[in-house]
Chains A and B, each alone.
Chain A
Amino acid sequence: MMATDTHPESEEAVAAAVRVAFEAGEPLRIIGGGTRAALGRPVQAARRLILDRLAGITLHEPAEMVIAAKAGTPLAAIEAALDAKGQMLAFEPADFRALFGSQGTPSIGAIAAGNISGPRRIWGGAARDSLIGLRFVNGRGEIVKSGGRVMKNVTGLDLVKLQAGAWGTLGILTEVTFKVVPKPETIATLALDGLDDPAAQAAMSAALASPFEITGAAHLAAGLAGETARTLLRIEGFGFSVDYRAGELARLLAPHGRLERLDNAAGRALWAAIRDGLPLAEPREAALWRLSLKPSEAAAAVAAIRARRDARAYYDWGGGLVWLATAADGDAGAGVIRAAARAAHGHATLIRAPEPVRAAVSVFEPGPAPVAAITARIRAAVDPAGLLNPGLMHAGA
């Protein structure tokens, strides 16, 4: 199906386009930078609303640690503006272009809509935790705002959080506001080598239960980042403090192995790779899953999956996040993987798979029946005609 593209240049134009679609009963596919367009169930829509021209930083107050931008603003522009003032986004947003082989540039609105968070999530929170305000156009073509530019705000229902992770099915984000943090003076990456998954899990738990403010905890099995397995921990802050904490952490983790401080550039490259799913990017035809689990049960979940089918996996968020690649044939392992995730008190999202698989398998887990029922009612409360990214998250919705 050839889609008709519209590139609105203003929030009013977005609202007008939705009102037209509402009158005509025509569904819309919402696109930011288009770098994750292959994530989610295939959307059947003859019209694409592309937000690339709705761009520009609208507010940046470094002393208030806040930045706001129109939704189509490239992430790179946000990061450059923050960097110039010694600041950054707290949640280390990922870039999935390598995973999907996509072109274009990630947009800040899509980062918010997908709640895209990297390794720093365990310390700095997810994208949704930094997102403090937004404006959106609902399925009736009305412009709605929630939250604001101040970081403490409990005025009214928090539709900001609700939009983070709704993938544009609860409105088209037009402007987003994030709180930001100072960029650390020093970043240290520390590695333990040669641990198996359960041992790595125990070491990460010990580190995260320490007072040393770990901002990254990941484990890569042998073959994913070198010949031996590597458990990585990250500490950030002022140089004097990082040195002190790195030393203390090495002492604390001595029973788990010898903690080695990596070269800065090598460390940064590793965290970027972990963030972006690069260790499992190839082969491109493999299906890719992200499992959100109770951290202490992640290694057992991966072992249970491997007992049933071939899979390669690595751990982020101290074990709370597992990236897993497996063959994309059949259900791409959905049955086996979701059963293991449930047993580990979590769930699984299908990040990458050929379109027929994504049409047949639930990409996003629907959740238990009462949650699914509330979800459907919320969707109807925002987008009564079901026009916005229909079917992207759930079939028939």
Chain B
Amino acid sequence: MTAIAFPAPDAGILGRRDLILAGLARLVAPECLITSDDERRAFETDAFTAYRRMPLAVVLPRTTAEVAAVLAYCHAEGVPVVPRGAGTSLCGGAIPQEDAVVIGVSKMNRILEIDYANRLVRVEAGVTNLAVTNAVSAEGFFYAPDPSSQLACTIAGNIAMNSGGAHCLKYGVTTNNILGVTLVTIDGSVIEIGGPALDAPGYDLLGLVCGSEGQLGIITEATIRILRAAEGARPVLFGFETSEQAGAAVAAIIAAGIVPVAMEFMDKPAIEICEAFAKAGYPLDVEALLIIEVEGSESEMEATLARIVTIARAHGVKVVKESKSAMETAAIWKGRKSAFGATGRIADYICMDGTIPTGQLPLVLRRIDEIVKAKGLRVANVFHAGDGNLHPLILYNINDPDEARKAEEAGNEILTLCVEVGGCLTGEHGVGIEKRDLMRRQFTDIDLAQQQRIRAAFDPGWLMNPAKVFPLDRRAA
């Protein structure tokens, strides 16, 4: 694929590479600086693998002070910086460029403080999402945002992308679960935003940093909220003969005053792919599957489920299958959370992430099918039904340039459709390079200019993750 452009590398920076490497070598230990071709290759892309660029160098600092020193150096030298968590971005948010230094936070992965009395954890931001939950689960607590990549993805990356997950219908996304960050800006300033109190003074800089995709600075530490887990949780499978029925059931559940902790939708191709991989016991004779999870004590779950089943029956549910054991529960979620990986076993795919008003679901599913079929491709749909966050997976062959181009075109048409029906380009994966050039579909030039002026309050020289989020022709000179 060649549709997404990269800025032409700065020849002056490329020409000074040896000098720049020497400068970086003065700031960090040798094992924290990666310069060889072989080792740099591991950093040339992220989970948006269709695009790759070899970075100038990779630095993996061990402290906030080292991050500050490296940033101040890059600032002084006018060298672009691409921040990196675990490299699990699905939108190319961590894909470098040839004249940029990648700064990865993976060596800063300690949990600094666990405070159950105030229900918070302070971490170095390179810690993985799941490691936080694992550190507090023995006491019955968890960290709520649970992106499918939670085994690998870092808290720094979660904050940069404002990550969501399957359970945010009840618990919110990253911005709702963060109390404070240490942010290092391009000039090397270390800024403490928020902390253990619920509110920080002044403007909500924390809210601005969440989802800023590495354009405002590098997050080195974070104070995050932990929650006490419910007494129990149980997912139930509801199979429908049409996706319209499934969509109507979701609306009726919400109308009845029930907000389940998760409501996940899969269409037939997605059910088949995930069942083949996870053996989760998904019904194969239905067109649409809802995974609805309820929480609470045994009696609370039973009573809530009884209400949901009644509603589902009124909407023609064909199969209702309750998890009977922890093993079954794990398998049900494994199937859903491995949807992307399982799809990757049968074909290359690009994963869309638009959000739509849930009332538009039947129309949008029909149009997605038409758009993809018109390109001669296949699609599998998984999405967060309660909040309208879609994940159509467009299947194609990455080695066939024509198919690759068609897949990208179909993806762009689907995202444009999401905006047209009142939704947005990305619900939880971010803009990155992937959706950068579609931003004008959702925003006016005035909207974008305002965002860019605020971005410039942190990075006036446009050095932080410079080819992301905004259309390239809107970049500052």
Contacts and interface: CB of A to CB of B under 8 A. Distances in A.
Interface string A289-311: 00011111000000000000000
B362 interface: no
A255 B309 CA distance: 40
Interface string B424-453: 111111110001000100111011101101
A142 B259 CA distance: 38
Contacts of B446: 142-144
Nearest to A241: B300
Contact of B450 (A155, A292, A382): A382
Interface stretch (A102-110, A146-154, A225-233, A353-361): A146-154
Contacts of B456: 381
A371 B176 contact: no
Nearest to A167: B203
B356 interface: yes
B401 interface: no
B208 A157 contact: yes
A151 to B, nearest CB: 5
A122 B199 CA distance: 11
A161 B175 contact: yes
Given A61-B357, A161-B208, A244-B297, A156 B431 contact: yes
Given A211-B229, A240-B299, A157 B254 contact: no
Interface string B156-196: 00000110100010001101100000000100011111011
A370 B296 CA distance: 44
Interface stretch (A62-70, A73-81, A191-199, A268-276): A62-70
Interface in A96-129: 115, 121-122, 125-126, 128-129
Nearest to A115: B204
A158 B208 contact: yes
A185 B307 CA distance: 14
Interface stretch (A17-25, A34-42, A202-210, A325-333): A202-210
A250 interface: no
Contacts, number: 259
Most chain B beta-carbon contacts within 10 A, residue among A151, A158, A321, A375:
A151
A346 interface: yes
Nearest to B252: A63
A339 B162 CA distance: 33
B210 interface: yes
Given A374-B458, A375-B202, A155 B431 contact: yes
B455 to A, nearest CB: 6
A151 B176 CA distance: 12
A368 B202 CA distance: 10
Nearest to A62: B255
Contacts of B191: 368, 370-371, 374
A154 B205 contact: no
A238 B304 contact: yes
Contacts of B200: 292, 347, 367
Interface in A345-396: 345-347, 349, 364-368, 370-372, 374-375, 377-378, 380-382, 393
Contacts of A346: 195-197
B197 A365 contact: no
Nearest to A85: B255
A153 B355 contact: yes
A159 B162 contact: no
Interface stretch (B126-134, B269-277, B383-391): B383-391
Contacts of A185: 257
Contacts of B431: 154-156
A389 to B, nearest CB: 13
Contact of B422 (A148, A182, A295): A148
Contacts of B176: 125, 129
A164 interface: yes
A148 B424 contact: yes
Contact of A144 (B211, B251, B450): B450
Given A64-B388, A152-B384, A166 B198 contact: no
A156 B439 contact: yes
26 contacts: A63-B358, A115-B199, A121-B198, A126-B199, A129-B172, A145-B443, A152-B173, A156-B451, A158-B208, A159-B208, A159-B451, A161-B206, A162-B204, A165-B202, A166-B203, A184-B257, A211-B229, A292-B197, A293-B197, A294-B197, A295-B117, A320-B197, A364-B201, A370-B190, A372-B202, A377-B457
Interface of B: 115-119, 140-141, 161-162, 164, 168, 172-173, 175-176, 185, 189-193, 195-208, 210-212, 215, 228-231, 251-252, 254-255, 257-259, 296-297, 299-300, 303-304, 355-359, 384, 387-389, 422-431, 435, 439, 442-444, 446-448, 450-451, 453-458, 469
Given A238-B257, A378-B454, 9 more contacts: A63-B252, A153-B423, A155-B426, A162-B204, A211-B230, A241-B296, A367-B202, A370-B190, A374-B185
Top-7 shortest CB links A-B? A161-B207, A182-B257, A152-B427, A377-B457, A381-B453, A346-B197, A63-B251
